[in-house]
Each structure stands twice: as structure tokens, then as C-alpha cells.
Amino acid sequence: MKHLKNYINGAWVAGTSDPLVVHNPATGEIIASVPKISTEGVSAAVEDADRAFRLWSKETADTRSKYLRRLYELILENEQELATTITLEQGKPLKEALGEIRYGASFVAWYSEEAKRISGEIIPASDKNKRIMVLKQPIGVVAAITPWNFPFAMITRKIAPALAAGCTVIVKPASQTPISAIKIMELVEKAGFPKGVVNLVTGEASSIGKALLGNKKVKKITFTGSTEVGKELYRNSADHVKRISLELGGHAPFIVFDDGDLQESINGALSSKFRNCGQACISSNRFYVHENILPRFVKGLIHKLKSLRQGNGLTSDTDLGPLIDRKAYQKVEEHVSDALSKGAKLEYQGEAPKIDGDSKSGYYYPPTILSGIQPHMKIYSEETFGPVIPIMAFTEEGDVVSMANDSDYGLAAYLYTRDLSRGVRVSEALEYGIVGLNDGAPSAAQAPFGGFKESGIGREGGHFGIEPFLETKYISIGL
Ligand code: ADP
């Protein structure tokens, strides 16, 4: 077993004798251990990042851009190894892992350019002898807390804009998937970033969280993860009025009108639902299908699902991997059995590779389609995070929009229609931060990613994604 290290102030720091172990979710094998950092260790890392901030924030935009560009090139040069790491610790099929690396790299490329476009304003004053100058300045030390479902891209999506803005960063990856984060640090080191600009700490989430939130020198928290933990961080950030960005859970409606392209909607359903085995915050969770086309939609989906191969992600023809752990598997099972006990119909269930009841690995949940879904079923309002398509029939546009909006979440929504007016009308009415209109894969580095309502605060991606790392300063100049 490899004993991996934290990366703090440009040095690799070993842990104590009580490390966290990392499992391969496809086999249960222990693949590595990472340190459990102490509270004092976190404080020291914040001091280092704060010291580094004084120099990094003064670098020219051009210099920051070049470091990011070098990091981008290194990611692409090492993409196969990075993708294999994701599959080993997270379970998604290798081809998807490679997609995640390229997606993650695209943020580094985008923000290496965006670093050069941070500019202020000169505003005409009301007094002849005054000038009004507005500057954008980096916020300071940023703590980035990231989830296990996209262990590579959720880090680059946060650190690239922070570094471009002139902030320094402390990354706290999910305990299940810290190895991808360590690989990023190896490339950060190779790219030659000055010491203390990017740091990585691993260990017990709540104590690291407390140490980061309780430290005045941490000026901003950027978090992707569960709504529950996000709310806790939001509450605890109040003491120092820390800036906070939250990318939380979702419960995406997927609406298919009877004037939609059936085949396209089936393809969209597959990509929005089965990417990462349904373990994505923008994964579609409730399918509203017009009653006129419901039987054809289900038949077309079943046809596609029959050809999906589920297994170890390292095997080249695997389409669907395992769920991350037993808890995740039990939640999916619970949502399906709850729906069935309340009258849903099982339209289809594939065959998953068998697991041993006591196994700590290989939690393969088979692709499943349910119809007759009702609002009182858990699956209708709770995030499933698994490969299940729960379907409800509808007839009226107005009704389906109301049902789609009846959620505490507001991250992503999808709709399929060939009627342009309806497409625009319904997209505008949906209370969601991201709408896929005839598009089942809406994420892109240049676009704003984030949610309405309890799905979060702020946006990542594009020029929107750099603002949260900047303060606005106004200088009033008397001549
Ligand atoms: P998930 O349900 O996807 O595991 P979590 O919200 O539990 O989502 O985890 C997302 C990230 O937040 C992980 O890095 C996790 O370790 C971290 N985390 C969990 N609890 C806390 C906490 N109390 N304080 C700070 N970070 C936490």
C-alpha cells in the first residue's frame, strides 16, 4: 500500500500513524493511505497560504496565466494516468474518467486566459476635481472543499479561477477520493507554482472544516457537496462573514414533450442519467413524459439499456461502474423499494454483476426504469444518486412546469421539444440555474454552472466563475 502525503508550502508532508485508507470501489482493495492532518497542521497551512498570497497576488496577470497554461499542458500530457487514478478510486469507467480529465483541464485552459481579462473601471465623477477608480482585487486565501463524484474536475473548476484571480488555495478533497487531488498537486509542483500558492490537506472532514472556517485568514470557502454539509458551512461562515460559494445537490426534472425528437430525448436521458452511474448533481431525477409518447419512450430506453455493460471501470468496454459505497447502494435500493411499495411499476431492471452480501465493494446497482411515479414517493423529491429512471406521465405544459418547479432544489433541468416558442417559454419558466433545451450534457468551462434555491450560491465557469474570488475596491481621487 502506498502511503501518500499532503502538499503544503511546496513540500510533501507525511501523516501520523493513523492514516485514512482509500478503497477501490470496484474491488474493495485498499489502494493507498493519506494523512489525517491535525488542527495545528491546518492552521500552519493557512499561514503558509497567507504568506504566499502576498507575493502571488502581486504577480502580473500574464505570469499567473503562464503557470496555469503550463498546468493545463501537464494535465493533458498525463491524462491516461490521471484517468486511471479516477477509475481506481472512484469507479467510473475509464472512458468517462478521461472525459472528466479533459473537462477539468478545460477550466485550467479557460482561466489561464481569463486571468488576463480581470479589469476595473473608471467612472465619470460628478466633481471636475475628482476621479472614481474601481479595482478588482483577489480576496485572499481560499479553502476549496470538494466531493468524490468528480474527484479531478471539481478541484480544477475551483482552483483555476482562484489562482487566476490572484488567490492562494488550500484544497480539502473527499476522503473517498484523495489520490486524484494528490496527482494534481504533483503537476502543480512540476508546473513550478511558487510554494504555498496551492496546498492540499487530507483527513477528518469536520475537524478540517472547523479549522478552516474558524481561521480569520481564510477569506473564502468554495464548496461542492451535499446540501446538508453546505448549509452547515454557510451557517459557520457567518462569524467572520466569510465569502462562500456553494454548489449543492439537485433534483433535475427531465421533460419530454410529444413534439420532441424521441430518439434525441432518449439519448439525452441516457447521458444525463447514466454518466457516473447517476452520481452527479445535475443528473436527471424525475422524468415527465407526455402521455402520448410514454410507451415509445420507455421501449426506446429499454432497448438502449439492454446494451449497457456494467462492471469494473478499468475494463475497456464497461459503460457503468459501481456506486461509491454501501451507503450509496442502500439509498438507491430504498428509493426503488419505497416507490414500488407505493404503487410504481417496474418497467425494466438490468442485471448487475453479483456482489457478496458482506462485501465492502462492488456495489453495482443495475439500470432501472420505474413508471407511475407519484409525489409522495421518496424518489420524487430526494436525490437518488443512482442509475434509476423514475417516470411520470403528463398532458399539459402548464402542469408539467409547475410540477418541475415544485422542488427545494434548482440546479439543472432538461426539456425536449421541437417547438421553438415552447422551448423558450418553458426554459424561461423553469426555476433552475442550468437548462438543457434538447441537450442532456450542458456543462462547459465557459458557461455559468450553479443553482437556484437550495442548490447553492454563486456560479462556476466562464467570466462568472472568477468574480467570487475578487473584491471590488473603489478609490475616490481628489485632484
Ligand atoms: P457527499 O454526500 O457527496 O459525500 P459531502 O457533503 O458529505 O457530500 O462531502 C463533500 C465534501 O465535504 C467532502 O470533501 C467531505 O469530506 C466534506 N465534508 C463533509 N462534512 C464536512 C464538514 N462538516 N465540514 C467540512 N467539510 C465536510
- Ligand 1 nearest-atom number relative to CA 145: 14
Query: Does the beta carbon of 249 lie inside 6 Å of ligand 1?
Result: no
How far apart are the CA of 172 and the centre of ligand 1, in A?
Answer: 9
Instruction: Please state, in angstroms and rounded to a whole number, the distance separating the CA atoms of residues 337 and 323.
Output: 17
Domain contains 302: yes
DSSP letters, 99-124, are: HHHHHHHHHHHHHHHHGGG---EEE-
- Give residue 269's Cα distance to chain centre: 19
Burial of 69 (0-12, 13-18, 19+ CB in 10 A): middle
Decide: 463 and 165 in contact? Cβ < 8 Å.
Answer: no
- Which amino acids are annotated catalytic? 247, 281
Instruction: Please state, in angstroms and rounded to a whole number, the distance separating the CA atoms of residues 359 and 374.
Output: 34
Domain contains 222: yes
Tens digits of residue pLDDT in 68-80: 999 999 999 999 9
Hey, whose CA ends up nearest to atom 23 of ligand 1? 206
Tens digits of residue pLDDT in 102-155: 999 999 999 999 999 999 999 999 999 999 999 999 999 999 999 999 999 999
**What does residue 140 show for φ and ψ, rounded to 5 degrees?**
135, -145
Q: Do 228 and 367 lie in a common domain? A: no
Instruction: Supply the pLDDT for residue 358.
Output: 52
Q: Do 211 and 305 lie in a common domain? A: no
Query: Does the beta carbon of 325 lie inside 6 Å of ligand 1?
Result: no
Q: Do 270 and 218 lie in a common domain? A: no
Give the total number of structural domains in the chain: 2
Tens digits of residue pLDDT in 331-375: 999 999 999 999 999 999 999 887 655 555 689 999 999 999 999
Domain contains 469: yes
Domain contains 126: yes
Q: Do 180 and 257 lie in a common domain? A: no
What is the maximal distance between C-alpha atoms in the chain?
80
Domain contains 449: no
Rg of the chain (C-alpha set)? 23
Instruction: Supply the pLDDT for residue 15.
Output: 84
Q: Domain containing 86: what range?
A: 2-248+455-478
Q: Do 312 and 188 lie in a common domain? A: no
Tens digits of residue pLDDT in 400-430: 999 999 999 999 999 999 999 999 999 999 9
Give the confidence band of 1 by pLDDT, cuts at 50, 70, 90: confident
Q: Do 222 and 290 lie in a common domain? A: no
Query: Does the beta carbon of 126 lie inside 6 Å of ligand 1?
Result: no
Average pLDDT over residues 202-230: 97
Strand partners, 142: 169, 220
Q: Do 461 and 436 lie in a common domain? A: no
User: Which of 206, 229, 281 has most ligand 1 atoms within 8 Å of its beta carbon, as the pocket-test mutant?
Assistant: 229
Instruction: Please state, in angstroms and rounded to a whole number, the distance separating the CA atoms of residues 85 and 83.
Output: 5
Query: Does the beta carbon of 267 lie inside 6 Å of ligand 1?
Result: no
Instruction: Supply the pLDDT for residue 360.
Output: 55
Q: Do 261 and 149 lie in a common domain? A: no
Q: Do 211 and 269 lie in a common domain? A: no
Q: Do 151 and 193 lie in a common domain? A: yes
Query: Does the beta carbon of 175 lie inside 6 Å of ligand 1?
Result: yes
Instruction: Supply the pLDDT for residue 16.
Output: 78
Domain contains 206: yes
Hey, whose CA ends up nearest to atom 19 of ligand 1? 205
Question: What CATH number did the domain enclosing 352 receive?
Answer: 3.40.309.10
Query: Does the beta carbon of 205 lie inside 6 Å of ligand 1?
Result: yes
Question: What CATH number did the domain enclosing 120 receive?
Answer: 3.40.605.10
pLDDT exceeds 90 at position 32: yes
How far apart are the CA of 3 and the centre of ligand 1, in A?
Answer: 22
Percent above pLDDT 70 for the chain: 99
User: Which of 42, 90, 145, 233 has most ligand 1 atoms within 8 Å of its beta carbon, as the pocket-test mutant?
Assistant: 145
Fill in the amino acid letter for 415: L
Number of CB atoms found within 10 A of residue 63's CB:
13
Range list of β-strands (E), 353-444: 368-371, 388-394, 409-410, 412-416, 434-437
Grid cell listed for 12 = 510533501
Average pLDDT over residues 193-215: 98
Instruction: Please state, in angstroms and rounded to a whole number, the distance separating the CA atoms of residues 97 and 151.
Output: 10
Q: Do 187 and 44 lie in a common domain? A: yes
Instruction: Record the pTM.
Output: 0.97
Tens digits of residue pLDDT in 296-324: 999 999 999 999 999 999 998 999 999 99
Domain contains 450: no
The average confidence (pLDDT) of the chain is: 96
Query: Does the beta carbon of 232 lie inside 6 Å of ligand 1?
Result: yes
Instruction: Please state, in angstroms and rounded to a whole number, the distance separating the CA atoms of residues 67 and 111.
Output: 11
Instruction: Supply the pLDDT for residue 356.
Output: 55
Q: Do 230 and 296 lie in a common domain? A: no
User: Who contacts 343 (Cβ-Cβ below 8 Å, separation ≥6)?
Assistant: 372, 374
- Ligand 1 nearest-atom number relative to CA 232: 23
| Cα–Cα distance list, 419 to 162, 253, 294, 393, 425 (Å) | 41, 19, 19, 19, 10
Give the confidence band of 219 by pLDDT, cuts at 50, 70, 90: very high
Domain contains 282: yes
User: Who contacts 399 (Cβ-Cβ below 8 Å, separation ≥6)?
Assistant: none
